[in-house]
Structure 1
Amino acid sequence: MAKARTERMLNLLFVLLNASVPLTREQIRDRVPGYGDSNDAFERMFERDKAALRELAIPLETKPVDLFHDDVLGYRIDRSDWLMPEIVLTAQERTYLSLAASAWQSAQLSTAAKQAVRRIDAQESDDLPVVPVSLAKGRRHITEILESITDNKTIAFDYVGLLDAKPVRRTVDPWRALLHSGHWYLIGFDQDKGELRSFRTDRIVGDITITKDAILEPAPTDFEVHDIVAQWESGEAVTLQAKLLVRPGRGASLRLLASECNIGSEWDELTVPYFHESQLVGLIAGACDVVRVVEPIALHDAVSRVIVTTLKAHSNGE
């Protein structure tokens, strides 16, 4: 019975949506299957269906069928009052949506993201840039992180920071998850350090444990994760200085970041401010033949580990 009524209401909805003029009750009865032959049964079912449509906030109009017969009422649904207008996306907006879907492709929203991408791709456009199929690193733990944020639960995990020789157990009150520059980050309050910290999720070793404990330090009401990104990118949170030796004419990326440059005959000495080692390690390691780290020693060691790890990965065990 419920299935029959659902089918009848859907048919009624489609008929009224596609009506260019108000339809009389007789016309509706002829066009919508399921109302039966009895006049009384039709009246009862039609009244219930009208009420159900209005409960669903569907704008069912009741109007005279024409100016000369105002005692004969007709029914229709104005498409413009109910259906959403066509959403026209710019090439840039479609790119952003595709990027977002790529970021979620390994999480619980994978199916919905893929469906959205297919619909976006259906909007053919020559100016739609091609985006990578896989973008963000560290997606494996995002589901657990988001669950812990939603439930306000403390999490624990083993983490290898740039300065760590082996995994260190961390206990964190999670505040936000952030996708930035191709990496997922967990932003939260580190209970062991007693301060706000960020963790790159691809450096988490093993599984994340969602504890039964409620978080001890909730995020401030005015906390904005984008402020952290702005600090990373603007240098407002800079507390460290790197002293680098760079061959003349080389290391352009590092020179752009330098606050001071002393020109020498064989080496130029750069002073580069930074907030976190991750900002410089990749740049220095990628130019290790023309760059030397003078200080701090922690940055020197972090770069050395990256270089050694890279060499081992490409040596095939030889």
Structure 2
Amino acid sequence: MEQHNADILYRQTNLAFALLDDPRARSWEWIRTHVDGYQKLDRRTIQRDVQQLHEAGVPLVKRDGGVAIRHDDYELAPVRFTPAEATVVGLAGDLGRAGQLAAFARSGWTKLAAAGAQKNLELRDPYASFDDSTILDPATLTTVLKAIRRSRSVTLDYRRSPVDEPQRRSLDPWGFVPLSGRVYLVGFDLERDAPRSFRATKVSAVELSENPIQHPPVEDLFDVVRGSLSKARTDARLLVGEDYHDQFGPAVDGVVELRDVDREALIRAVASTDVDVTVNAPEDVKQDVIALLQEAVHD
């Protein structure tokens, strides 16, 4: 059931952005051909997705035998947060960018996120509580989706970690995959000559090239992401102070031992926590936490 819901969200996200990128009405056949996730689905399923998007607040209209977004109705009034919600946003704090967050708050897509994005500061897995939608660069989404629609490759900067220099990469883009609060850009890496997924928040300076896409997308983009994530796990040892209350797991003599956790999520959680927690091992995770804190201070 969880995978089924993720598949629906994945294709509906692609559909909303594809329609937003073009003022023209798009036919059901165009959606099936050009929007990832619909290639094997019938018209009835597409119509159901359109109806669900409309009910969620996306201003869709049927015309000219197809469907389009009423762009004039897409802007929303400023989003208001309760004190609890404001606390969650504050956790991301300097890790996000106010301008980028505001850009998403102004879009109708915020309603979709709000419908299912319930945040809780007391989650059992504190290093999975960040949502890429708060810090994702809208320019990255716009340019990549335009490239996919036009079947063109892109060049982009990819920073593997806060302490690494950006790498310039060339990519045949296939789509975006939302998974566990994160968004991944999936495509064929022309330098590596293989399918790759990139955490979308680590991607910047995306430029549309004149080169047509030469590598068609694989059947399941989620498989590409899962393959990449299997290499992004780590063990870690945390040193905790007296004010610690099992946020990262049980402590024994001031030490928390973690096994097979998401490396990047752990780095962000340690950097944002307000209790006395430091990384003792591994050293590379410790240095990335320090670099992330320094970056937040400078910004």
Q: What is the TM-score with the length of structure 1 in the denominator? A: 0.47
Kindly indicate whether structure 1 or structure 2 has the higher relative contact order, using CA contacts under 8 Å at least 6 residues apart: 2
Higher Cα Rg: structure 1 or 2? Answer: 1
